[in-house]
Amino acid sequence: MLRNIHRTRVYIPSQGPTSWQAFLAEPERQWRTGYSAKTLAHCWENADGLPQEIAHMFDGPVELLLALPEHKVVLDGGNRDSQNDVFALIRFGDQTCAATIEGKVNEPFGPTVGEWFAEPSQQKRDRMRQLCSLLSLDEVPPSHIRYQLMHRTASALIEARRFKTDEAAMIVHSFSPARTWFEDFANFAWRCS
């Protein structure tokens, strides 16, 4: 008889950047030099607390309280959680922020809403309904908006409620000198603000 396998809420301390590889959805394919997973792991592990480019986004003294690589957040519908590259609890001044961090080098943000929501199943409708509600959207965003940015931002809001933080943030930690895919992020931020 098979036992039900459940997810644990116990996290093992990191032994360095290579510890992050085990948490990837596809460890062999995603752990490559020059790609976001490995680049992000090395950057965050080598920082003394928050990487400077992230710390500069916050006012006052800033402190990384907790960082969880490849943190999964359950969403309605579908059979996959939103797997965030990093979930961080960040203290700045007298406030706390729940932040999901999406690392990017040159990889795209995945399918557009139009591609992901074409001929949607009931599960996808349920998920889109939840995402639109969390993001205070009255309707499904335009088809060119990247779906990944929606569910990563929703993850930050869900975790902010769960941890009762003062703020939530979805941060794209880009390592692209050419600012690849910035336009997709800007379109999402403009549409969902």
> What six digits make up the tokens of 114?
């139009």
For residue 48, the model assigns a pLDDT of 84
User: Looking at the domain assignment, is residue 9 inside a domain?
Assistant: no
User: Looking at the domain assignment, is residue 5 inside a domain?
Assistant: no
Q: How many domains does the chain have?
A: 1
For residue 1, the model assigns a pLDDT of 34
For residue 148, the model assigns a pLDDT of 97
User: Looking at the domain assignment, is residue 2 inside a domain?
Assistant: no
User: Looking at the domain assignment, is residue 115 inside a domain?
Assistant: yes
User: Looking at the domain assignment, is residue 175 inside a domain?
Assistant: yes
For residue 2, the model assigns a pLDDT of 38
For residue 9, the model assigns a pLDDT of 75
Smallest CA-to-CA distance from 157 within 94, 100, 113 is with: 100
User: Looking at the domain assignment, is residue 3 inside a domain?
Assistant: no
- Report the predicted TM-score, pTM, of the whole model to 2 decimal places: 0.92
Q: Which residue stretches of the chain have pLDDT < 70?
A: 1-7, 193
Cα–Cα distance, 23 to 109 (Å, whole number): 19
- Which residues, listed in sequence order, are joined to residue 171 by a DSSP beta bridge? 101
The residue range of the domain holding 184 is 17-191
